Structure 1
């Protein structure tokens, strides 16, 4: 009975591609196409709201870079891992520009992801070197608190900021407080995401007049 529920082709775990993502250990859908490593409810929410007039900045790269590039006009992404950068860069379309910016810290990934909000690095500051206001900024890499801090001034007046892994809100509280102080409202999308079998949250931070019309 349980196995039937898990592998029923009409079931959510199959149709969302979650089972396939676990087997392949990649953020992919049921047809093996790349999807963001964000919560499924958020992906379903934002996909129909994207268009080719939008530009995106992404802290952290991966299948999400490819997925967004297919749906928006331009995406800039930054990556701190050289191995991952070399893996991703060869699979990107022309409208996706990926840069490598190492974060030379003797710490594990968790420590690098949730550094103090005042710990500025070339990685977190890269968005300011682009001289562009973005419609969407995605914070899903390292040094998240300071990346949030720098993103606030680099989104357009109707731009939105996406922060993944709200289950770690405590470690990102300083950055999340900055968004609140800047007048951003918060919409949370909780559920499964590719590969992961525990509940995860993706946060959408927006102002009343926003490009997603919410």
Structure 2
């Protein structure tokens, strides 16, 4: 992302928060609507919730495309004992905790981890761990982040955090740092029939890892909470063997 894009993004977020603060005293944002039954109304309301974890939790959505949210929710309904591992915590952690048997999440931002922990304090089945980026002289660039502002930072400990837990996971969410490395490392931890949620999968730096994974990809492009333009989330599965 260029500096101009970053400035434009920050300006948009600031403008939406100002509009939110102006509307709050009028009660215009108090009532929430069902994300499935009133998709466009929910989306319009969510625009004021950008970068606002409390508002997104109240709206009961993660930050994926709506079609991906629907499919993952249906998947979790079919697996009431589902185990989830999540790279990148936030409102999605609370959403998953309501729908899965267990959720283990990791994040590289210590302050964000503490905030998320307070928001999921009522869920005994959800845990968020802080895993910092590697030391500056870490030699293994395969764990490097391609995100602007993280040049030269690697996240091997973060990527490998899933190794601290035993067993397979029904759902793995990749929505944090070093996503290509997370996919390469975690794909073999999927339970039979499991799903990987890979958010923002249209970004060029992620496409080679998705293509090389050998996983079947379902691309779900469209409206996403908080975003004024369409986004893309992919669901990845182990391909079914030919009968």
- Once the two structures are superposed, the pairs formed by residues 195-210 of structure 1 within 5 Å of their partners are 195-208=226-239
Q: Determine if the alignment matches structure 1 residue 41 to structure 2 residue 67.
A: yes
Determine whether 1:72 maps to 2:100.
Answer: yes
Structure 1 residues not aligned, in runs of 5+: 1-8, 210-214
Partner residue of 2:128? 98
Cα-Cα RMSD? 3.1
Partner of 1:161: 196
Q: Which residue of 2 aligns with 1:176?
A: 210
Identify the match of residue 136 of structure 1 among 171, 192, 196: 171
Tell me how far 1:121 sits from its aligned partner.
Answer: 0.9
- Whole-angstrom CA distance in 1 between matches of 2:69 and 2:151: 24
Deviation at 1:171, TM superposition (A): 0.2
Partner of 1:22: 47
Matches of 1:113 and 1:46 in 2, distance apart? 30
Task: Supply the distance in 2 between the matched residues of 1:78 and 1:161 (Cα, whole angstroms).
Answer: 16
**TM-aligned CA deviation for residue 53 of structure 1:** 1.0
Q: How many residues of Structure 1 are paired with residues of Structure 2 in the alignment?
A: 194
Report the equivalent of 2:3.
none
Unpaired runs of 5+ in structure 2?
A: 1-32, 137-143
TM-score between both structures, scaled by the size of structure 2: 0.70
String of CA shifts for 1:37-84, please: whole Å, max 9, x gaps: 000111122212213211010000011111111111001000111121
CA deviations over 1:2-61 (Å, ceiling 9, x no partner): xxxxxxx996421xx222222232368899333110001111222122132110100000
The structure with more radius of gyration: 2
Q: Distance in 1 between matches of 2:152 and 2:207?
A: 11
- TM-aligned CA deviation for residue 88 of structure 1: 0.5
**Structure (1/2) with the larger helix percentage:** 2
Q: Report the counterpart of residue 81 of structure 2 in structure 1.
A: 53
- After TM superposition, where is structure 1 displaced by more than 2 Å over at least 4 residues in a row? 9-13, 24-34, 104-109, 111-116
Q: Aligned pair in 2 of structure 1 residues 156, 115: CA closer, same or farther (>3 Å)?
A: farther
CA distance in 2: counterparts of 1:152 and 1:144, whole angstroms? 12
8 A Cα contact 2:57 2:95, kept in partner: no
SS in 2 for 1:87: helix
Matched, 1:87 2:118: no
